[in-house]
Structure 1
Amino acid sequence: MDRNVPGLSRVILQKLNMKSYEDYKSAMDGRKSGSDFGIRTYFDMFQKMEDTFKFCAECKKLPDALPDPKSLRRCKRCQNVYYCGVVCQRANWPLHKKFCKKLKLVALDRLVEWLIFTGDIPFPTETWTKPAWDVKGWEDWFSMQEQLEEKLSAIVAGRYMTLLWANAGKPRPEDRELCESIRRLVTDFHSRPLTIGLGLRLFGINPLARPLTVHVVGASHVETLNTRPTDYDELTWMFPGHQGMEMVMVGVDVVDGPIMRPPLAMPAPQGRVYLSSYKGLYHDFWESHVETKLAARPDLVVGFHPGFHACPDLLAGWLPTLLLLRDYRLPVLFTVYSEQELKASLQILVELETNIVGYANNPFASLRPEQVYSSPNKAPVYCSSHYIALLGAEASAVPGAEGLEDDYDDCQGGEPRAAAEGGSIASGLG
């Protein structure tokens, strides 16, 4: 996907001649004819989506650069990467074979993801039967889902799954593979709210004691393209009886939609998760809304894949926000895609003298593998695979996840330290 970002990417929307998710949803709902976008059938839609990924994995040639564009053939094993001929395929095989099996899952999930937009995924969930601190990861979460196999089987046998494989131009996988794909996509959907819940637990912030406000900083089309007001309701099942929670999506790339409504100046309604948004830079939002009390001061700030490590320009854009979060001593949880990105992000945060209270593998990371769009033959990454917890400023050395504060008296029943081993790369920070 473009810029290694999950979800229905802007690259795909452009290929479909659509400007936004609303165009896509209008076509799917029949409110606007698919022919308005050059799409006549479901088959045409899936082919246009697949065209996004059609380039030779070895020489990088696009179909238009070949004498016969139809000569581009995909790997039969993974159904994901393409080659312009046998010579390129043979030359690329020593590298591709390392990732072929994983890329098969990527290609499958990319198609099954369509069921999120049709409404089949995710399936309805219920109040957790275990306390939040006893749910250590996805295995525990799935164990609480009643009639799970029946729910998965209904989706596999459903109308849209049938339409998908009648038009995808690829052989239909076995039902077992489809069920596993649905599981991965469900974790991808719920990863963000459960990661926010993890952040509340790590910082000892008790949703049962008072209404809470969470700011999602750097929010973009990834967090807001298809977001409905109910998409973070899993937090209600995670913390039954909570006093109300507001999630404010703040970012320059926030997409217009149902949650494009002003942040609340008053506490969130009791027992509800209320989503709102602000399109703009976080430090501008802080000055215009938080300081003027048009929006509540956050109890927690979360940034999903901020990416400030990627290049100097991005870091420069993030710097006012990072310094604001540090100087106002706000509890912050950032997530990253990989251990390499974790290391680079930690180095920057050390140089900014932020107090890194811990970092670790995220037990609620998405299980859906994501490929680097322009370089598929790389190890896939996973959304929110690791987290970094920050609180204020500190010039001392960085502790590992074992250094996370264990003062969780405000949490009902207490909380363990870190969800997974962190600090394993601390010696590499240098």
Structure 2
Amino acid sequence: MQSDPVKMAHRKKNTPAQVQSGSKNAFTETPVVKGPNMDSLGFQAMDSNVPGLSQVILKNLNMKSYDEYRSAMEGKKPGAEFGIRSYFEMFQKMEDTFKFCAECKKLPESLPNPKSLRRCKRAQLCELYISAILPVGDIPFPTASWTKRIQEVRDWEDWLSMQEALDEKLGAILTGRYMHILWANAGKPKPEEAELVESIKRVTTDFVSRPATIGLGLHAFRIDPYAKPIVEHVVGASHVETLNARVTDYDELSRVFPKHQGVEVVMVGVDVVDGPIMRPPLVAFGPRERVYLSSYRGLYHDFWESQVETRQANRPDLVVGFHPGFHAYPDLMENWLPTLLLLRDYNIPSVFTVYSEQELKYSLKISMELEMRITGCGANPFASLKPEQAYSNPNKPPVYCNSHYFTFCGLSGSPDEGESEGGEGEND
């Protein structure tokens, strides 16, 4: 007899708030979450590579501690000196985070001659792409409905070929207000137009990557958005995802599947921050051809107990984890374990992404040790093309968001329920 996954992975530290079924205020009650968040782990990783680098970043933000940073990310009132006053100051302080020796990993004040530091070419390229993200008022540019089925879109060139009036849209960004502000404050020579166009394309793929990957997961499990409304849960959602999440970005799902029956996306994670999507999930399904975004701050198995089991939220058709990172930190894996077992034992179709092929191997190894049935894996055709440089370790090659993925559903050795990688349905 199969045991309940939540009871099987009993939580010692993370006790959910008491929620009564049917209570109108159930969603507003906050679970007690004591697990690590990705921000704190990121600060630890920086200091392990370059001791003191996290303090440089906090200083650049006019903060004294990580607690102040976290408070600001959660939407609480920051200190009077928090933030950056101008675009010029922003670029100067961004450069400060790159000022350390790539060989010995020491900050300038720890070197006998700080002026001897020279900028490497890789850092220059990284600064170029960081600069390109500034014109967020124009990016991503408006996109058109997909004229090809998702399995026919093999790469971003195929996606770009479906965009109407692409040259005009890119030209408007190049000559727009935000691009003018960028090069008036960056303190760097403006690149050639062709180079800027390619940079804009790369940044745009970063916005589209997440909804397109969700579409990939729906296709992989033959979940048909034309047959019924679809519910997706994004587990381990970061503060960046929820802070920047806009319905307009996830409306790309409406372009992947034009005239769908309705899509609901619920972002769940301890790093979720207050914002426009901090609202309850739907109990009934939303309107056709629309995407509804909501979020929940807490661990996914707490969300399942307090919201799904009490019917305050709908059971998901698909669960998506963007860069869960459970392979990297034991403390993080401790919090992920009940969620992974829950997804496994309740046979929830799931797709997770990672930054590299090496991370994919580690994640697959852990998943197989947990006897999860892997249904597919490989390079993601919708990986972001925007390189992410680990500035705490500049000698490492850049990585790309959602570079690789793997899908799983149920226990290994369990009967195949019809999921197939790359299968074609009538409405795919």
Number of the residue aligned with 2:277: 259
Contact 2:376-2:421 at 8 Å conserved across structures: no
1:379 aligns with 2:394: no
Aligned counterpart in structure 1 of residue 192 of structure 2, from 174, 177, 197: 174
CA deviation after TM superposition for structure 1 residue 174, in Å? 1.1
CA deviation after TM superposition for structure 1 residue 67, in Å? 5.9
Runs (4 or more) in structure 1 with deviation over 6 Å come to 18-24
3-state SS, counterpart of residue 225 of structure 1: helix
Taking the aligned partners of 2:406 and 2:213, their CA distance within structure 1 comes to: 11
CA deviation after TM superposition for structure 1 residue 59, in Å? 1.9
3-state SS, counterpart of residue 277 of structure 2: coil
Map 1:88-237 onto structure 2 (within 5 A).
104=125, 106-116=126-136, 119-237=137-255
1:94-116 CA deviation, whole Å, 9 max, x = no partner? xxxxxxxxxx1x32111111222
Number of the residue aligned with 1:41: 86
Taking the aligned partners of 2:167 and 2:174, their CA distance within structure 1 comes to: 10
Equivalent pairs: percent with the same residue? 65
* CA 108–332 in structure 1, closer or farther in 2 if over 3 Å, else same: same
Aligned length: 371
Q: What is the TM-score with the length of structure 1 in the denominator?
A: 0.79
Taking the aligned partners of 1:13 and 1:179, their CA distance within structure 2 comes to: 33
Taking the aligned partners of 1:334 and 1:11, their CA distance within structure 2 comes to: 33
Taking the aligned partners of 1:375 and 1:346, their CA distance within structure 2 comes to: 25
Aligned AA (2:140):
P
1:52 aligns with 2:97: yes
Taking the aligned partners of 1:354 and 1:200, their CA distance within structure 2 comes to: 19
* CA 375–307 in structure 1, closer or farther in 2 if over 3 Å, else same: same
Taking the aligned partners of 2:277 and 2:154, their CA distance within structure 1 comes to: 30
Taking the aligned partners of 2:421 and 2:207, their CA distance within structure 1 comes to: 29
1:412 aligns with 2:420: no
* CA 300–37 in structure 1, closer or farther in 2 if over 3 Å, else same: same
Aligned counterpart in structure 2 of residue 64 of structure 1, from 105, 109, 114: 109
3-state SS, counterpart of residue 287 of structure 1: helix
CA deviation after TM superposition for structure 1 residue 41, in Å? 3.2
CA deviation after TM superposition for structure 1 residue 404, in Å? 7.0
Taking the aligned partners of 2:427 and 2:399, their CA distance within structure 1 comes to: 34
Aligned counterpart in structure 2 of residue 355 of structure 1, from 355, 373, 390: 373
1:393-421 CA deviation, whole Å, 9 max, x = no partner? 0159xx9xxx9726946x3355xxxxxxx
Taking the aligned partners of 1:23 and 1:314, their CA distance within structure 2 comes to: 23
* CA 185–297 in structure 1, closer or farther in 2 if over 3 Å, else same: same
1:226-274 CA deviation, whole Å, 9 max, x = no partner? 2223220000011011010000000000121111111111112211000
Taking the aligned partners of 1:406 and 1:163, their CA distance within structure 2 comes to: 45
1:308 aligns with 2:322: no
Number of the residue aligned with 1:238: 256
Taking the aligned partners of 1:207 and 1:361, their CA distance within structure 2 comes to: 24
Range with greater deviation from structure 2 (188-197 or 145-154): 145-154
CA deviation after TM superposition for structure 1 residue 296, in Å? 0.1
Contact 1:21-1:226 at 8 Å conserved across structures: no
Structure 1: gaps of 5 or more residues? 27-31, 81-103, 415-430
Taking the aligned partners of 1:271 and 1:146, their CA distance within structure 2 comes to: 21
3-state SS, counterpart of residue 400 of structure 2: coil
3-state SS, counterpart of residue 347 of structure 2: coil
Number of the residue aligned with 1:423: none
* CA 357–11 in structure 1, closer or farther in 2 if over 3 Å, else same: farther
Number of the residue aligned with 1:88: none
* CA 407–130 in structure 1, closer or farther in 2 if over 3 Å, else same: closer
Taking the aligned partners of 2:70 and 2:426, their CA distance within structure 1 comes to: 40
Aligned AA (1:165):
W
CA deviation after TM superposition for structure 1 residue 281, in Å? 0.4
Structure 2: gaps of 5 or more residues? 1-38, 47-53
Aligned AA (1:115):
P
1:274-325 CA deviation, whole Å, 9 max, x = no partner? 0000000000000000000000000000000111110222211110000000
Taking the aligned partners of 1:267 and 1:38, their CA distance within structure 2 comes to: 40
CA deviation after TM superposition for structure 1 residue 78, in Å? 4.0
1:344 aligns with 2:358: no
1:177-231 CA deviation, whole Å, 9 max, x = no partner? 1111111010111100000001000100000110110000010123112222322
* CA 404–12 in structure 1, closer or farther in 2 if over 3 Å, else same: farther
Range with greater deviation from structure 2 (310-319 or 284-293): 310-319
Aligned AA (1:215):
H
Range with greater deviation from structure 2 (312-321 or 279-288): 312-321
Q: What is the TM-score with the length of structure 2 in the denominator?
A: 0.80
Taking the aligned partners of 2:177 and 2:423, their CA distance within structure 1 comes to: 47
Taking the aligned partners of 1:241 and 1:339, their CA distance within structure 2 comes to: 35
